[in-house]
Protein backbone atom coordinates (compact mmCIF):
# COMPACT_ATOMS: atom_id res chain seq x y z
CA UNK A 1 0.00 0.00 0.00
CA UNK A 2 2.81 2.32 0.92
CA UNK A 3 4.54 1.45 -2.32
CA UNK A 4 1.37 2.20 -4.36
CA UNK A 5 1.03 5.62 -2.70
CA UNK A 6 4.67 6.36 -3.43
CA UNK A 7 4.24 5.33 -7.09
CA UNK A 8 1.03 7.33 -7.38
CA UNK A 9 2.77 10.36 -5.86
CA UNK A 10 5.69 10.06 -8.30
CA UNK A 11 3.31 9.73 -11.27
CA UNK A 12 1.34 12.78 -10.11
CA UNK A 13 4.53 14.79 -9.61
CA UNK A 14 5.81 13.80 -13.07
CA UNK A 15 2.43 14.76 -14.60
CA UNK A 16 2.45 18.21 -12.96
CA UNK A 17 6.08 18.82 -13.96
CA UNK A 18 5.34 17.85 -17.58
CA UNK A 19 2.15 19.93 -17.63
CA UNK A 20 3.99 22.92 -16.15
CA UNK A 21 6.74 22.67 -18.76
CA UNK A 22 4.18 22.67 -21.61
CA UNK A 23 1.83 25.31 -20.23
CA UNK A 24 3.75 28.43 -21.29
CA UNK A 25 4.16 27.45 -24.97
CA UNK A 26 0.55 26.28 -25.11
CA UNK A 27 -0.72 29.53 -23.60
CA UNK A 28 1.51 31.50 -25.95
CA UNK A 29 0.03 29.63 -28.90
CA UNK A 30 -3.54 30.41 -27.86
CA UNK A 31 -2.96 34.03 -26.83
CA UNK A 32 -0.62 35.31 -29.53
CA UNK A 33 -2.05 38.13 -31.59
CA UNK A 34 -0.73 40.86 -33.81
CA UNK A 35 -2.07 44.34 -34.40
CA UNK A 36 -0.84 46.85 -36.93
CA UNK A 37 -1.60 50.47 -37.72
CA UNK A 38 -0.33 53.14 -40.02
CA UNK A 39 -0.58 54.27 -43.57
CA UNK A 40 1.07 56.25 -46.29
CA UNK A 41 0.06 59.73 -47.31
CA UNK A 42 -0.12 59.89 -51.08
CA UNK A 43 -0.05 63.16 -52.97
CA UNK A 44 -1.13 63.11 -56.59
CA UNK A 45 -0.78 65.98 -59.02
CA UNK A 46 -4.44 65.61 -60.01
CA UNK A 47 -7.02 65.68 -57.24
CA UNK A 48 -10.55 67.00 -56.98
CA UNK A 49 -13.02 67.76 -54.22
CA UNK A 50 -16.69 68.58 -53.97
CA UNK A 51 -16.45 71.97 -52.21
CA UNK A 52 -20.12 72.75 -52.63
CA UNK A 53 -23.01 70.32 -52.40
CA UNK A 54 -26.33 72.00 -51.69
CA UNK A 55 -29.75 70.39 -51.42
CA UNK A 56 -32.85 72.48 -52.06
CA UNK A 57 -36.36 71.36 -53.02
CA UNK A 58 -35.13 67.72 -53.36
CA UNK A 59 -32.37 68.71 -55.82
CA UNK A 60 -28.68 68.22 -55.01
CA UNK A 61 -26.50 70.87 -56.75
CA UNK A 62 -22.83 70.00 -57.21
CA UNK A 63 -19.58 71.79 -57.88
CA UNK A 64 -16.28 69.98 -58.45
CA UNK A 65 -12.95 71.74 -57.85
CA UNK A 66 -9.53 70.71 -59.14
CA UNK A 67 -7.28 70.99 -56.08
CA UNK A 68 -4.28 69.42 -57.82
CA UNK A 69 -1.46 70.82 -59.93
CA UNK A 70 -2.42 69.32 -63.31
CA UNK A 71 -5.39 69.35 -65.64
CA UNK A 72 -7.76 66.45 -65.12
CA UNK A 73 -11.03 65.02 -66.37
CA UNK A 74 -13.87 64.53 -63.90
CA UNK A 75 -16.81 62.17 -63.69
CA UNK A 76 -19.61 61.90 -61.14
CA UNK A 77 -22.18 59.28 -60.20
CA UNK A 78 -24.87 59.11 -57.53
CA UNK A 79 -26.06 56.16 -55.46
CA UNK A 80 -29.26 55.89 -53.46
CA UNK A 81 -31.20 53.19 -51.69
CA UNK A 82 -33.95 51.06 -53.17
CA UNK A 83 -37.07 53.00 -54.05
CA UNK A 84 -35.25 56.30 -54.59
CA UNK A 85 -35.18 57.62 -58.13
CA UNK A 86 -32.42 59.95 -59.31
CA UNK A 87 -32.70 62.23 -62.33
CA UNK A 88 -29.68 64.16 -63.55
CA UNK A 89 -29.75 67.64 -65.06
CA UNK A 90 -26.58 69.04 -66.61
CA UNK A 91 -25.54 71.90 -68.83
CA UNK A 92 -23.63 71.41 -72.09
CA UNK A 93 -20.30 70.94 -70.28
CA UNK A 94 -21.37 67.47 -69.11
CA UNK A 95 -22.17 64.25 -71.00
CA UNK A 96 -23.81 61.08 -69.81
CA UNK A 97 -21.52 58.13 -70.31
CA UNK A 98 -21.22 54.43 -69.54
CA UNK A 99 -22.28 52.99 -66.17
CA UNK A 100 -24.46 56.03 -65.34
CA UNK A 101 -21.48 58.37 -64.91
CA UNK A 102 -21.63 62.01 -65.99
CA UNK A 103 -18.39 63.23 -67.57
CA UNK A 104 -17.05 66.76 -67.71
CA UNK A 105 -16.36 67.29 -71.43
CA UNK A 106 -13.31 69.55 -71.03
CA UNK A 107 -10.29 69.25 -68.75
CA UNK A 108 -10.59 71.00 -65.41
CA UNK A 109 -7.52 73.15 -64.81
CA UNK A 110 -5.90 73.54 -61.36
CA UNK A 111 -7.89 75.82 -59.07
CA UNK A 112 -10.93 75.76 -61.38
CA UNK A 113 -14.44 74.73 -60.39
CA UNK A 114 -17.05 73.03 -62.56
CA UNK A 115 -20.74 73.35 -61.77
CA UNK A 116 -23.79 73.06 -63.94
CA UNK A 117 -24.78 69.60 -62.77
CA UNK A 118 -27.45 68.48 -60.31
CA UNK A 119 -29.41 65.41 -59.36
CA UNK A 120 -33.12 65.49 -58.51
CA UNK A 121 -34.16 63.10 -55.76
CA UNK A 122 -37.49 61.30 -56.14
CA UNK A 123 -38.17 59.67 -52.78
CA UNK A 124 -40.72 57.28 -54.23
CA UNK A 125 -41.24 54.32 -51.90
CA UNK A 126 -38.24 55.15 -49.71
CA UNK A 127 -38.53 55.59 -45.97
CA UNK A 128 -38.06 58.96 -44.28
CA UNK A 129 -34.37 58.41 -43.52
CA UNK A 130 -32.11 57.84 -46.54
CA UNK A 131 -28.86 59.00 -48.14
CA UNK A 132 -27.94 60.01 -51.66
CA UNK A 133 -24.19 59.56 -52.09
CA UNK A 134 -22.35 61.35 -54.88
CA UNK A 135 -19.01 59.92 -55.96
CA UNK A 136 -16.65 61.99 -58.05
CA UNK A 137 -13.46 60.73 -59.66
CA UNK A 138 -10.72 62.39 -61.63
CA UNK A 139 -8.14 61.15 -64.10
CA UNK A 140 -5.11 62.91 -65.57
CA UNK A 141 -5.46 64.34 -69.04
CA UNK A 142 -3.69 62.22 -71.67
CA UNK A 143 -2.12 63.89 -74.66
CA UNK A 144 -1.87 62.72 -78.24
CA UNK A 145 1.23 62.70 -80.46
CA UNK A 146 0.32 66.22 -81.61
CA UNK A 147 0.50 67.50 -78.00
CA UNK A 148 -3.23 68.17 -77.81
CA UNK A 149 -5.30 66.70 -74.98
CA UNK A 150 -7.27 63.59 -75.80
CA UNK A 151 -11.01 63.78 -75.16
CA UNK A 152 -12.76 62.60 -72.03
CA UNK A 153 -14.02 59.60 -74.03
CA UNK A 154 -10.42 58.43 -74.49
CA UNK A 155 -9.41 58.83 -70.84
CA UNK A 156 -8.30 55.66 -69.08
CA UNK A 157 -10.54 55.53 -65.98
CA UNK A 158 -9.09 52.17 -64.92
CA UNK A 159 -5.79 53.70 -63.74
CA UNK A 160 -4.98 53.28 -60.07
CA UNK A 161 -2.37 55.09 -58.02
CA UNK A 162 0.06 52.69 -56.42
CA UNK A 163 2.60 53.41 -53.70
CA UNK A 164 5.81 51.46 -54.04
CA UNK A 165 8.48 51.29 -51.37
CA UNK A 166 12.12 50.77 -52.31
CA UNK A 167 14.54 48.75 -50.18
CA UNK A 168 15.40 51.85 -48.09
CA UNK A 169 11.74 52.42 -47.26
CA UNK A 170 11.30 55.53 -49.42
CA UNK A 171 7.99 55.94 -51.20
CA UNK A 172 7.75 56.10 -54.97
CA UNK A 173 4.55 56.75 -56.88
CA UNK A 174 3.86 54.21 -59.59
CA UNK A 175 1.50 54.86 -62.46
CA UNK A 176 0.72 51.26 -63.25
CA UNK A 177 -2.49 49.86 -61.91
Q: What is the pLDDT of residues 45-62, one digit of tens each?
A: 556 776 677 888 889 999
Residue 160 lies in a domain: no
- What does the alpha-carbon distance between residue 76 and residue 62 come to, in Å, rounded to a whole number? 10
Tally of domains within the chain: 2
Same domain for 64 and 148?
A: yes
- What does the alpha-carbon distance between residue 126 and residue 19 come to, in Å, rounded to a whole number? 62
Same domain for 29 and 52?
A: no
Residue range 83-97, pLDDT digits in tens: 888 999 999 999 999
Question: For residues 38 and 76, which has the higher predicted lDDT (pLDDT)?
Answer: 76
Question: For residues 68 and 177, which has the higher predicted lDDT (pLDDT)?
Answer: 68
Q: Is 139 exposed, middle or buried (0-12, 13-18, 19+ CB in 10 A)?
A: middle
| Under 8 Å between Cβ of 65 and 51 | yes
Same domain for 63 and 112?
A: yes
Q: Which domain holds residue 136?
A: 48-154
Radius of gyration, CA atoms only, the chain: 31
Q: How confident is the model at residue 162 (pLDDT cuts 50, 70, 90)?
A: low
**Is a pLDDT exceeding 90 seen at residue 104?**
yes
Residue 98 lies in a domain: yes
Same domain for 131 and 58?
A: yes
Q: Which of 79, 41, 60 is nearest to 171 (CA)?
A: 41
Amino acid sequence: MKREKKTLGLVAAAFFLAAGACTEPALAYFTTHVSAAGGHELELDFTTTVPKEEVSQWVKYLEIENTGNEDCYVRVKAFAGEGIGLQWTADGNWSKGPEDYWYLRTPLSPGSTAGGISVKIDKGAAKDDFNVIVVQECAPVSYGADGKPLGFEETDWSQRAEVKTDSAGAENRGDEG
